Amino acid sequence: MAETLYIPPPGVCFRLLGYVTQQVLFSRTHEQPEVWHHPVQSEHQDQYFSLVPLSENQEGFYALQGKVSDKFLVITPARTLANEDDEGSPASWFKLEAGEGKTAKMFRITCPALDMVIFSRTHMTPHVSATSPISNKWDDQYFSFVFEDLQVNRVEYDLARATIADRSLVQITVHTFTNNTSHEQQMTISSDLPAAQTFTWKYSSGFPLGDDISFKGKLKVGAWKRY
């Protein structure tokens, strides 16, 4: 059974690392090929992408947008990868299929509209392209996220109560009503704002947060007296 795959929210950039090649995809416009792969050790900004969720009736589908090129990844009729100005083509609508077993925490980038899946390989040409059908699974089709460094501005946490100590107030809604009658009137208004919080203190997989992180907590210090 495939594990639940972490899907980064819009605006969070990442590199797409090929499982077999240990190379990352890139998207550029200044020279050919526009979309290819490059060794992960040599980091460049054109290797970063972000996910763009599609409309509600296409739940689970995403477009892949290059951070530098600002273009969308698309599979051409020749099965090569290219850049597109927008995400309007079904050839740029992708699903991330979670792996399992040795490829757990990885995923395949599939395009159900074309019944194709993207691969990255070096043992034969083409090195970067798409193949079909989706049902045929090979190791060179699996990728993982390599996230860019994120900056945490401020978190205050009460270790004793295991809760966030400092919370900003949020105004949900404002209503103004005027009673133009001579009778007392009563009205009930219900508003809600969904919020979710997830906390974990164990790092098992994912991405590094970097070194510039500070935590604020309360520590009780006892005094010792010698007799």
> What are the structural domain ranges in the chain?
14-147
Q: How confident is the model at residue 185 (pLDDT cuts 50, 70, 90)?
A: confident
Distance separating alpha carbons of residues 52 and 22, to the nearest angstrom: 24
pLDDT, one tens digit per residue, over 120-134 is 999 999 999 999 999
Alpha carbon separation from 63 to 28, 48, 52, 161 (Å, rounded): 16, 14, 5, 41
Residue of 87, 152, 143 lying closest to 120 (CA atoms) = 143
CATH number at 14-147: 2.80.10.50
Give the torsion through C-alpha atoms of 66, 70, 75, 77, to 10 deg. Answer: -150
- Residue 227 has what pLDDT? 45
Say whether pLDDT at 209 is over 90: no
- Residue 203 has what pLDDT? 45
3-state DSSP percent of the chain in helix, strand and coil, to 5:
5, 30, 65
207-215 contacts, C-beta under 8 A, 24 or more apart: 207/14, 207/145, 207/146, 207/147, 207/150, 208/147, 208/149, 209/149, 209/150, 209/152, 210/149, 210/150, 210/151, 212/151, 213/152, 215/155, 215/157
pLDDT, one tens digit per residue, over 86-100 is 988 999 999 999 999
- Residue 145 has what pLDDT? 95
Cis peptide before 33 (omega within 30 of 0): yes
Q: In the structure encoding, which two tokens stand for residue 9, read together?
A: 């929210």
Residue pair 78/24 in contact (Cβ under 8 Å)? The answer is no
pTM over 0.85: no
Residue 45 CB neighbours (<10 A)? 12
Q: How confident is the model at residue 4 (pLDDT cuts 50, 70, 90)?
A: confident
